Structure 1
Amino acid sequence: MINCIAIDDEPLALTQLEGYISRVSFLNLVASYKDAFEAMKLLATQKIDLLFVDVNMPDLNGLDFVRSLVDKPLIIFTTAYPEYAVDGFKVDAIDYLLKPFGFQDFQKAADKARRMFESTMSDEETIFVKCDSKVTLVRLSNIKYVEGMSEYVRIFLEGEDKPLMPLISMKKLEETLPTSQFMRVHRSYIVNLRKITEVSRLRIIFGNAYIPVGDNYKEKFMEYINSRMMK
């Protein structure tokens, strides 16, 4: 699944983008915005794979917005002005949709994004997990934390409302995940160390979720935190 956001100051154009994205099975619309400044807040806290960005917007246009990004997702520009095409490709946009565009053109651009996304996936650490009869490829960088249940685990991913629930033991998954990135902090929890942004009273906070640090895991976890503490 490719996590994407849509940015366009025109309400009708934004609604059209949202509708087109919903029709493509491999696209997951995380959020849509009418200005680039609001999108910046999300990009600072969550990994996004693909941006659909209008070029001609007030306050901060799409080109300057993309230039300001340090870790750029895949970019597809949308605009009614063909003269911006060259500038768009100068900032490494993968495609350019000229308004008004139909679903067929949108699908072609989305397919191009998928091919490029899959090529980058091959260079990143991934695992396959089986849930029911479906096998899903998961990027380790997208895992926030894992919760162990009685006979299965729940894998919570960035940009996904529902966790994956493969039939696998915590011990087996712990052995699979790299220790440089993941740590077991409780009998029932494994966390992605790179996703930790806040710890309060030995509870790791992921949005509305509070992950307790167990007594048997406290010493190792605090060693990790203290080794990275600014003094």
Structure 2
Amino acid sequence: MKLSAVAIDDEPLALEIIKQYCTQISEIDLTQTFDNAVAGLEYINSQRPSLLVIDIDMPDINGIDLVSQLQLRPMIIFTTAYKEFALEGFELEAVDYLLKPFSFERFEKAFQKALSKYQIGNTAGDMEPIFVYSEYRMIKIDLQNIIYIESLDDYIKIHLTNSKPVMTLMSLKKIAAKLPPKKFIRIHRSYIIATDHLTSLSGRKIKLSTGFELPVSESYLPDVLTKIKPH
């Protein structure tokens, strides 16, 4: 199993070190590197890598701000020369935080944590549930029971196989960050679907296992086509 990875750092030497480290780990497929964070942001939103190794302190955009702007967030390993950024990094649920200069052994340890998280997140029976606040209580949602999620202004509506829909005050972007990208895909500014419930795509309409149809927006269509292409 290989993880597709992207590295972003404004220092060419730092990028070169990451490249060298990645060549020594057979499970990493470093698909692209960027010394320009804005270009990196566009690439990640379109290509959906599994892992992002990113420096925090960069001139064009702070690494933490960049991660916060991602439509669907991959696993994150932050790198930086400044210890004071560590807390912010972990608040974004980063897999690890590497203080420069870091050794190959330390980099490999961080990657193994990411690989372990990836393997767990992409095994349907092992997907960790999420908890949302609804109707004055915390409700446990098993991810394998989600059919699709709908955005309704400041709320989202989670449609389930085993119970009535659950409404909670949350953005679609925030809930997307909690979902394994191999199991869920955003198809529209208002919809995320579970790929296990996708039965067909006709034009710009997706049909779900329930028979319900949802629109696919033009901006998300390439992601949908990549997800359902024949293997």
TM-score class normalised by the smaller sequence: 0.5 to 0.7
- 1:103 CA displacement: 0.3
Report the secondary structure of 1:100's partner residue. coil
Cross-structure match for 2:11 = 10
Whether 2:177 is the aligned partner of 1:180: answer: no
Cross-structure match for 2:67 = 66
Question: What is the percentage of aligned positions where both structures have the same residue?
Answer: 36
Q: Indicate if the aligned counterparts of 2:45 and 2:71 stay in contact, CA closer than 8 A.
A: no
For residues 87 and 201 of structure 2, what CA distance do their matches in structure 1 show? 46
For residues 179 and 92 of structure 1, what CA distance do their matches in structure 2 show? 27
Cα distance change of structure 1 residues 4 and 181 upon mapping to structure 2, 3 Å threshold: farther
Whether 2:104 is the aligned partner of 1:99: answer: no
- 1:180 CA displacement: 3.3
Cα distance change of structure 1 residues 102 and 79 upon mapping to structure 2, 3 Å threshold: same
**Greater C-alpha radius of gyration:** 1
Cα distance change of structure 1 residues 178 and 120 upon mapping to structure 2, 3 Å threshold: closer
Cross-structure match for 1:40 = 41
Cα distance change of structure 1 residues 30 and 141 upon mapping to structure 2, 3 Å threshold: farther
Q: TM-score, normalised by structure 1?
A: 0.56
Unaligned stretches of 5+ residues in structure 1: 125-138, 143-176, 185-193, 199-204, 207-231
Report the secondary structure of 1:44's partner residue. helix
For residues 4 and 62 of structure 1, what CA distance do their matches in structure 2 show? 16
For residues 123 and 48 of structure 1, what CA distance do their matches in structure 2 show? 20
1:133-182 Cα shifts (integer Å, max 9, x gaps):
xxxxxx6889xxxxxxxxxxxxxxxxxxxxxxxxxxxxxxxxxx979345
**Superposition pairs for residues 166-205 of structure 1, below 5 Å?**
180-181=198-199, 196-197=221-222
For residues 40 and 104 of structure 1, what CA distance do their matches in structure 2 show? 28
When the two chains are superposed, the root-mean-square deviation of aligned CA atoms in Å is 3.4
Cα distance change of structure 1 residues 87 and 183 upon mapping to structure 2, 3 Å threshold: closer
Cα distance change of structure 1 residues 37 and 122 upon mapping to structure 2, 3 Å threshold: same
For residues 2 and 93 of structure 1, what CA distance do their matches in structure 2 show? 16
Cα distance change of structure 1 residues 45 and 104 upon mapping to structure 2, 3 Å threshold: same
For residues 67 and 28 of structure 2, what CA distance do their matches in structure 1 show? 20
Unaligned stretches of 5+ residues in structure 2: 126-181, 186-194, 203-215, 227-231
For residues 94 and 80 of structure 1, what CA distance do their matches in structure 2 show? 17
Letter in 2 for 1:180: L
**Superposition pairs for residues 1-231 of structure 1, below 5 Å?**
1-123=2-124, 180-181=198-199, 196-197=221-222
Q: Indicate if the aligned counterparts of 2:9 and 2:54 stay in contact, CA closer than 8 A.
A: yes
For residues 94 and 62 of structure 1, what CA distance do their matches in structure 2 show? 15
Cα distance change of structure 1 residues 64 and 179 upon mapping to structure 2, 3 Å threshold: closer
1:40-77 Cα shifts (integer Å, max 9, x gaps):
22122212110000010002010111111231100000
| Moved segments of 4+, more than 3 Å | 139-142, 177-184, 194-198
Q: How many residues align?
A: 149
- 1:22 CA displacement: 1.5
For residues 180 and 102 of structure 1, what CA distance do their matches in structure 2 show? 43
Report the secondary structure of 1:97's partner residue. strand
Cross-structure match for 1:219 = none
Report the secondary structure of 1:28's partner residue. strand
